[in-house]
Amino acid sequence: MSLEFFEPLFDSFPWPLQELNIEEKGVFFSYFLGILALLWFLWFFISNSNKGLPPGPRALPLIGNLHSLDPELHTYFASLSQTYGPICRLWLGKKLGIIITSPALAREVLKDQDTIFANRDVPAAGREFSYGGNNIVWNPYGPKWRMLRKVCVREMLNVSTFNSVYALRRRELRQSINYFYNQAGSPVNVGEQMFLIVLNVITSMLWGGTVKGEERASLGAEFRHVVTEIAALCSIPNLSDFYLGLAWFDFQGVTKKMKVLAKSFDEIFESIIDQKQKLERNGVGQESKDFLQVLLKLKDEADVKIPLTMTEIKALLMDMVLGGTDTTANTVEFAMAEIMHKPNVLRKLQQELDTVVGKDNIVEESHIQQLQYLYAVMKEVLRIHSTAPFLVPHCPSETCTVGGYTVPKGSCVFINVWAIHRDPSIWENPTEFRPERFLDNKWDYSGNDFNYFPFGSGRRMCLGIVMAERMFMYSVASLIHSFDWKLPKGETLDLTETFGVILKKKMPLVAIPTPRLFNPTLYE
């Protein structure tokens, strides 16, 4: 049995098992499986009937198909679909996984049977950082989830609210442009800087405060480290998810590690909430209410039919910080890498920007609507580097039929949007970065066309489309308009992806900016 897939599993154990060599790990794992086999052997052969289920690889007793998984799950699942068809199954221990890899079947799940599939399969790690699943991502479909969603859309994630905080975005982006200008001729980490921009924009919208001075870079790096660690823990193969009866033991310490990371955020949230409440009690407020103030007011309203608890408020703050930072920063990083890899794309973008903005001016959001080629670049980046390769896995609330096969209640349904976006029967030369394919404005983010749905579809589609679009367009336009970019001497551009709940660039993009505007004051 190959232990390649289980290496991250062993690495996550809190015990001295991490010090074992590969042979010793294999012996331990064999004993461990033997013990579990005594418990699950009878269940497997009596209860685990594949009759009516989609086709899939042969499963072994107890471990199912865990032994054959590749850590790069998005490509592995795509290869399974090429062998077994657009709907296939595999056993993740006791958990049944259903893989969907066609627009027609994605439509069945996300539109035709949207209500049945509107729940989530919540991993142990996800439950821990989301205050027991009390956020929008993991909350079960129902009145509480609808209330939380309505609050977020009405108070923060809408065009009107986002327009009202343009000055905030502008300030943060101009500060970063000035940083790149001061680093001209030196290598800079593009992803880290983008993360810092988005983090400050989001936290300012949430609670009105930004990080300033020397603290800015260090705290931004710390935040990114925590966000990255949370995403990594959510991507680890966790026995607690594959064998629910073992969740209490937390053999790998995933839940324990997540508690530590979540606690660091919780302490920040608690401190900020306490400050806000003290200001309110002292009659000190702001002319413009931030998102946290709105949430605290809603919590205190006596006539709310579905109460908003303090736990849910903190879960929503966590949603915004985690959901908006790394995703946007990663997408911009992929975009900059692809643009640098295709000089003709860079040339077309700069020509468009010079025409619309001019080299004696700086980019403003008012220019964005005129940047049609940049819009095409954004859509192509979201196609070829899907931010969430499986979206967020769905979980049917009842047994149903998809594509003529049985999908049991409680199974984990993966919509492999990454594979759909690279399907050669849909896209010509699908692995080539070619923004021109989106210049006809045929494709949008509504989720109605299941050939292209980077933000998902149906009731549980992403709520942050406005934020993601604005931050991407404004950021990339400013970076390309203000600077020429090249790699450090001797470096080659690596576009390799690495799998996670959020797709990341395997090697960080480190590039050298060179100012291209004539007037130095434009960089202030």
CA distance 242 to 246: 9
Of the candidates 374, 342, 378, the one whose C-alpha atom is nearest the C-alpha of residue 355 is 374
Answer whether 94's CB lies under 8 Å from 246's CB: no
Chain-centre distance for alpha carbon 359: 35
The DSSP annotation for 417-477 comes to HHHHTT-TTTSSSTTS--GGGGTT----SSS--TT--TT--STTS-S-HHHHHHHHHHHHH
Answer whether 371's CB lies under 8 Å from 477's CB: yes
Domain ranges of the chain: 48-523
Of the candidates 335, 341, 332, 331, the one whose C-alpha atom is nearest the C-alpha of residue 494 is 341
Look at residue 211 in the predicted model and tell me its pLDDT: 46
CA distance 448 to 433: 23
Kindly state the tokens that stand for 500. Answer: 């996670």
Helix, strand, coil shares of the chain, percent, nearest 5, are: 55, 10, 35
Cβ within 8 Å of residue 60, ≥6 positions away: 67
Answer whether 328's CB lies under 8 Å from 468's CB: yes
Residue 157 one-letter amino acid? L
The CATH homologous superfamily to which domain 48-523 belongs is: Cytochrome P450 (1.10.630.10)
CA distance 20 to 66: 21
Look at residue 165 in the predicted model and tell me its pLDDT: 84
Of the candidates 328, 349, 338, the one whose C-alpha atom is nearest the C-alpha of residue 380 is 338
How many other C-beta atoms are found inside a 10 Å radius of the C-beta of residue 17?
18
Q: Helix crossing, 465-482 with 190-207: angle to 10°?
A: 140
How far, CA to CA in Å, does 347 sit from each of 134, 340, 352, 422, 489?
46, 10, 9, 25, 21
Q: Tens place of pLDDT for every residue, the chain, 524 residues?
A: 445 555 555 555 555 555 556 565 556 666 666 666 655 554 454 445 577 999 999 998 888 999 899 989 999 999 999 999 999 999 999 899 999 999 999 999 999 999 999 999 899 999 999 999 999 999 999 999 999 999 888 888 888 888 888 888 898 899 899 999 999 999 999 998 888 888 888 888 888 764 455 555 566 667 778 888 888 888 888 889 998 888 889 988 999 999 999 998 888 888 888 888 887 777 665 555 788 888 888 888 756 678 889 999 999 999 988 888 889 999 999 999 999 999 999 999 999 999 999 999 999 999 999 999 999 999 999 999 999 999 999 999 999 999 999 999 999 999 999 999 999 999 999 999 999 999 988 889 999 999 999 999 999 999 999 999 999 999 999 999 999 999 999 899 999 999 988 999 999 999 999 999 989 999 98
